[in-house]
Structure 1
Amino acid sequence: MAIVYPETRQLPDKPDAKAPDGSDVRVLLNLPRGGMAHFELAAGRTSAAVTHKTVEEIWYFLGGRGQMWRKQGDQESVTDVLPGLCLTIPLGTHFQFRSLGDEPLAALGVTMPPWPPEGDAIPVTGIWEPSAE
């Protein structure tokens, strides 16, 4: 088994990528079985709804306020989100989120496995109209 050396990284000033849902992604660090990223959705924006083929996530909200819709099978819910709230997005969950208020909605996300490769997110029908890019 390969040795994984400890790493350290400061939150980048600029996003590394645009997620398929439309949020800005700043990739932090990865290990073979998981990773951490910073997700940010601009004030007043609504993400596209997606589900993942291989990734489960845990999100911890850092700033802003908004709502997260999650649907798994025939169960669905809308959760009000604000700093200090933590939630899960299990594999196969359809989800969509929106930023309400004057500041971006920001969250740390733990992704298992590490943040997904191109094509992992599948568009689904959400409950809100996504913001145009």
Structure 2
Amino acid sequence: MQTRSFPSSPDGRSPAGAEIRYLIEGETGGMIHSTVPSGQVNRATVHATVSEFWHVLSGEGQIWRQDATGEETTVLRRGVSIDIPVGTAFQYRCTGVDPLQFLCISMPRWPGDKEATVIEGPWKPTAPEG
């Protein structure tokens, strides 16, 4: 059993460029809190072995996702949940005045930044390097 408090400062950055705080990790997956500042466009990536579930806590943004069946851009706002199946290309950005904040659950647990391959996406990235 694990119990953790919300970290007071970010633990680092995702390969895409979001500030991340590690919340909890187990054998079958992990959960992080992500923050994307207003106006930031993160790098487009694709994961080799990990799928993700996201739940937006606050802010506004967009996520572009593309897989073998097609592509779509989804508005991200409080209360919206999305999935990113393994092998799905995606890119996201904060379009509101407040930071975009969301929970991200990865399955299986995140193996390290080599999991994500940076690719071309629909928007020009502005995110700082991790």
Normalised by the length of structure 1, the TM-score is 0.92
1:75 has 2:74 as partner: no
* Aligned-residue offset at 1:132: 4.9
Q: How does 1:95-110 map to 2 (within 5 A)?
A: 95-110=90-105
Q: Indicate the residue corresponding to 2:43 in structure 1.
A: 48
Q: AA paired with 1:101?
A: G
Distance 1:23 1:57 in 2: 15
Q: 1:132 to 1:114 in 2, by over 3 A?
A: closer
User: Are the counterparts in 1 of residues 59 and 94 from structure 2 also a CA contact under 8 Å?
Assistant: yes
Cα distance between partner residues in 2 of 1:20 and 1:87? 19
Could you give the per-residue CA deviations for residues 70-97 of structure 1, whole angstroms, max 9, x where no partner exists?
0002500000110000000000000000
Percent identity for Structure 1 against Structure 2: 38
- Tell me the equivalent position of 2:53: 58
**Is the aligned partner of 1:121 residue 2:111?**
no
Equivalent residue of 1:119, what SS?
helix
Separation in 2, partners of 1:75, 1:118 = 26
Instruction: Give the 3-state SS of the residue equivalent to 2:7 in structure 1.
Output: coil
Contact conserved, 2:14 with 2:113, CA < 8 A, in 1? Answer: no
Q: Is 1:24 the counterpart of 2:22 in the alignment?
A: no
**Alignment partners' CA distance in 2, 1:56 and 1:132:** 22
Which has the larger displacement, 89-98 or 110-119?
110-119
- The structure with the largest alpha-carbon Rg is 1
List, as ranges, runs of 4+ consecutive aligned residues in structure 1 with deviation greater than 6 Å: none
Match of 2:34 in 1: 39
Q: Which runs of 5+ in 2 are unaligned?
A: none
Q: What is the alpha-carbon root mean square deviation over aligned residues?
A: 1.0
Higher mean displacement: 89-98 or 73-82: 73-82
| TM-score, L = length of structure 2 | 0.94
State the one-letter code of the partner of 2:23.
L
**Deviation per CA, 1:38-88, whole angstroms, max 9, x where unpaired?**
111111100000011111000000010010000002500000110000000
Count of aligned residue pairs for this structure pair: 128
